[in-house]
Structure 1
Amino acid sequence: MESGGMSKNSTLICVPIMGETIEKMVVDMSKAKTSGADLVEVRLDTLKRFNPRQDLEVLIRKCPLPTLFTYRPKWEGGQYEGDENSRRDALRLAMELGADYVDIELKVAHEFINSIHGRKPEKFKVIVSSHNYQNTPSVEDLGNLVVSIQATGADIVKIATTSLEITDVAHIFQITVHSQVSSVPVIGLVMGERGLISRILCPKFGGYLTFGSLEPGIVSAPGQPTIKDLLNLYNFRQLGPDTKVFGVIGKPVSHSKSPHLYNEAFKSVGFNGVYVHLLVDDIAKFFHTYSAADFAGFSCTIPHKEAALKCCDEVSPVAKSIGAVNCIIRRPSDGKLFGYNTDYVGAISAIEDGLRDLHKISSTSGSPLAGKLFVVIGAGGAGKALAFGAKEKGARVVIANRTYARARELADAVGGDALSLADLNNFHPENGMILANTTSIGMQPKVDETPISKHALKYYSLVFDAIYTPKITRLLREAQESGATIVTGLEMFIGQAYEQFERFTGLPAPKELFKQFISNLQ
């Protein structure tokens, strides 16, 4: 999947304006202008009452931005159920009254465009759109669809499809890149969470515009980001054909704070990169599809850390021992993937710091983990990282896992003992043990869950949870109430992020910015 050839970011941001009254729409138009939008899409089909001439005059006169009018019928995913001729008359009237764009559906585009022949103002543009709410067709079928839309006389082509997996988005990227040789601009968007990158990376692949909502959840299509996130989180105005793409691969992944951290850090050092959420189902297919050098680096989280290792051409010795990677770099010269594990560094360092504070130990006196009984909950990628890291520091390691066979396998690999998760509540051979949860038990939205009963926590002097959304999980709250020192997943997150940032950019990590990020989340 190669990037486009545009010389600068010329992609527009359009804010959908939806509301039951004209008054609300006028207020939202002003908000859109203040938010930094380039134009607004007025969704006439959301109005409860609509007096075409009177209302269109008000909307066009009072809008501080260029206007795009859409009057979407139910048969194309909108709310309008009335007479078809009245609907098209309203869009023609919008044109006559000074609208900048109207959006008309492919099914009726020929007739509509013929009806305005010779009457069309010079600056006025017709967007002809096609919406597929089932899937994303092949590149060949999408190419044929573009040709069909261009044949109507469209000034701008708009295609919106639905993502069944994130690799679908590559089809749209190919279409927008190839269409840049045409005189007809293309808007190509993929709906749904897996399609989010289609909306963020438009400037890289030559899309004419993207949509950003005013408020989270109040969207005109599934998966639409807010304009605030486009501008402030993803630094949308700075993106272009040469922007390197990074992201966090996971399932689920929308909870990750990594885009907030890395995008702010990229901006602070002037690095031309963007970091995005990547909801991935099949990681091997993802890497095969997004194989261009511009897809330059990835963080990897649950449940893909072990599968990611198998996708790498080379793996660091530590990651190979652990059997999992959480950081993958694509070498620009040949596209080969290199896998690393930075989890164990971030987590073990945070736990050691917690123990030093607890016991008032100097950092020069060796690892405070030496000789400690270290219980790891989970035998996945993060569990392996913690187990190997603790063993390397001289701890005695015990693995507790829902499936005993997996716990036993990891315990054998590190020279430790194994338990089933069900037996953990009754495991207390000594006081002052260390507990590290590496599973998703307690992660949003299931914040009421915990992997161990509160009464068993009194045997631990320190409890660590790799989860950081929420920052204080039920496990950590109950551990604190039981008298244990707690270490949050945020501390691990920042520790491992230093190394990832440096691998991504080749630049020193802005550590003060990272620390400020942590304090802002607390």
Structure 2
Amino acid sequence: MGSLSLAASDLERSGAVGSGPTLLCTPLMGTTIDQMLIEMQKAKTIGADIVEIRLDCLRNFNPRQDLQTLIKQSPLPTLVTYRPIWEGGQYEGDEAKRQEALKLAMEFGANYIDVELEVAHDFINSVYAKKPDTCKIIVSSHNFHNTPSTEAIGNLVARIQATGADIVKIATTALDITDCARVFQITVHSQVPTIGIVMGERGLISRLLSPKFGGYLTYGALEAGAISAPGQPTAKDLLDLYNFRLIRPDTKVYGIIGKPVGHSKSPLLFNAAFKSVGLNAVYLHFLVDDVEKFFNTYSSTDFAGCSCTIPHKEAALKCMNDIDPIAKKIGAINNIVRRPDGKLIAFNTDYIGAISAIEDGLRGLNGAIPSGSSPLAGKLFVVLGAGGAGKSLAYGAAQKGARVVVANRTFERAKELADKVGGKAMTLAEVEHFHPEEGMVLANTTSVGMKPKIDDTPLPKHALKHYCLAFDAIYTPKDTRLLREAKETGAVIVYGTEMLIRQGFEQYKNFTGLPAPEDLFRQLMEKHA
């Protein structure tokens, strides 16, 4: 338990109490009773199991009258919370009145009451023998600074249990995604119903994987702007994007590691694909700062593989036990599979996805291509950027017989890559005036033009007229300024979404051993473009 590593032994359920399905609780953040009543109906429609009535959000609150209305009219079981400012809530008034309101909620039939650890002992003593059997007391502790050691969290759980709590709730703050592992270790071994949440974007997986690690409930907001704690997903995303109801203790976990990573559409594609064929697997966003620490921590075979994006495509190489020969030559990976023996094997599917999409674009331009040869053969192929994606494109194009030019902000990195593929190097600033011939192919792998800086472009419009085809690896937005302007100059354009979709087909095959549902991937990308 002291170890950070979440290995197979930690995933064997130890008969934890409350090991039924994890409940989905939606906080009600309305400032009026009428707003909360509307929110309750929305929560029921979305598919929540419980609503959390956040009394501290109400502007005007008449305890006896309002609690009766809210509890009696709720279409779902109710959890009543009256969070004081000293525990991250909005209530600043008299403590005795606050506790009195919670006791009234219990009297009116609330199913759960959330009380802070600091006052729990006295509160529970004061309602001793008066608490209805239908009401459970959640005793909660919030740490807005960090996630303590496993031992410290274990001691905290023991303190909460000692108050007489029916349900233990610990909420910590993630400074790193590996902090979630310590909370998973606690919930999976807990002998009492436990809610374990790690707040913040790096803690997102603690919320999504609650059903895997035996969490009693997790919270999902009604809408993105109405979260009751940092990093809280929406109930809709939990249910529809991450297939929350299908996650079980034996569910395999996949995901995309990156920084930033929240923009990635990969979970949308993979979770829909897993669901379509009934695979017991989930695919998540992993916001990772340190790849080595991530793989050392989540070392169980249940963490079965991941996609790898900026800035980890090269750094992750040193964590691998085995690297596919092509990926090794490129020097960048984007697909990692954990074998049944626990070893990690890495692939590069970026180059397959991008190069096949570019070839198809050129075929439409060039008409008949001799059988067995690539339309890239002999073409002057200009790659902007020498990072992971740049390496994939440069290597892939060289393999197909193209003459490669690598342009990068720092000339040294461009030269290093160009030398590997037998090409020419230059700085990004030089590309604008580089046009030794017409009909060149352009591939942008820099982040210039990516959301939110959608008005930026790596190359001015006048320089684009020398290219017959332009590809942009960026897919948020799909229609980058570079592609719009290239199209206006008459070039064929290839969207970054094509690379995403096609490399995704290969990753899916590597993860599952099954062919990818190509039509489903395409429909989803079209729908969510």
TM bucket (normalised to shorter chain) is over 0.9
2:3 corresponds in structure 1 to none
| Structure-2 change in CA distance of 1:298 and 1:363 (3 Å) | farther
Q: How far has the Cα of 1:515 moved from its partner?
A: 2.4
| Pairing partner for 1:78 from 81, 89, 92 | 89
Match of 1:454 among 452, 461, 481: 461
Residue 347 of structure 1: aligned partner: 354
Instruction: Find 2:124's aligned residue among 95, 113, 121.
Output: 113
Contact preservation (8 Å) 2:160, 2:168: yes
Task: State the match for 1:235 in structure 2.
Answer: 243
Q: Aligned residue for 1:320?
A: 328
Q: What's the offset of the Cα at 1:9?
A: 5.6
Deviation of 1:4 after TM superposition, in Å, equals: 4.5
Counting only pairs closer than 5 Å after superposition, residues 180-329 of structure 1 correspond to structure 2 as: 182=191, 184-329=192-337
Structure 1 position 487 matched with structure 2 position 491: no
Distance between the aligned counterparts of 1:143 and 1:4, measured in 2? 18
Post-superposition shift, 1:358? Answer: 1.8
Q: Is the Cα contact below 8 Å between 1:356 and 1:363 reproduced in 2?
A: no
Alpha carbons 1:9, 1:238 under 8 Å: kept: no
**Deviation, structure 1 residue 292:** 0.4
Q: Deviations over 1:376-432 (max 9, x none)?
A: 011111111100100000000000001110001101111100011111111111111
- Aligned-pair CA distance for 1:442: 1.2
Match of 2:23 among 12, 27, 51: 12
What is the RMSD of the two structures over their aligned residues, measured on CA atoms?
Answer: 1.2
Does residue 59 (structure 1) correspond to residue 70 (structure 2)? The answer is: yes
Change (3 A) 1:98 1:305: same
Answer whether contact 1:9 1:237 (CA < 8 A) is retained: no
Deviation per residue, 1:328-384 (Å, 9 max, x gap): 001112x11001000000000000000011222358352000000000011111111
Q: Judge conservation of contact 2:140–2:170 (CA < 8 Å) in 1.
A: yes
Q: What is the SS of the residue equivalent to 1:204? A: coil
**Which moved further from structure 2: 203-212 or 477-486?**
477-486
Match in the other structure for 2:366: 359
Point out where structure 2 has 5 or more consecutive residues left out of the alignment: 1-5
- Counterpart among 6, 22, 25 of residue 33 in structure 2: 22
Give the SS at the match of 1:325: coil
TM-superposed deviation, 1:518:
3.0
Q: 2: CA distance between counterparts of 1:518 and 1:104?
A: 44
Query: Is there any run of 5+ residues in structure 1 with no aligned partner, and where?
Result: none
1:44-103 CA-partner distances (Å, limit 9, x unpaired)? 000000000000000011101110000000000000000000000000010011111110
d(CA) in 2 for partners of 1:430, 1:497: 34
TM, length-normalised to structure 1: 0.98
Partner of 1:202, secondary structure, is coil
> Aligned residue for 2:50?
39
| 1:222 shift after superposition | 0.9
The one of 518, 524, 528 equivalent to 1:511 is: 518
Q: TM-score, normalised by structure 2?
A: 0.96
Residue of structure 1 equivalent to 2:377: 370
- 1:97: which partner in 2? 108
Q: For the residues of structure 1 that align with 2:140 and 2:377, how far apart are their CA atoms?
A: 64
| Contact 2:389-2:445 within 8 A present in 1 as well | yes
Secondary structure in 1 matching 2:275: helix
Q: After the TM superposition, list the runs of 4 or more consecutive aligned residues in structure 1 that deviate by more than 6 angstroms.
A: none
Matches of 2:499 and 2:29 in 1, distance apart?
42
1:177 and 2:184 aligned: no
Question: Aligned partners of 2:286 and 2:474: how far apart in 1?
Answer: 18
Give me the whole-angstrom Cα distance separating, in 2, the residues matched to 1:185 and 1:498: 40
- Report the equivalent of 2:411: 404
Change (3 A) 1:295 1:363: farther
2: distance between equivalents of 1:364 and 1:102? 71
CA contact (8 A) 1:130 1:160 kept: yes
Deviation at 1:178, TM superposition (A): 1.2
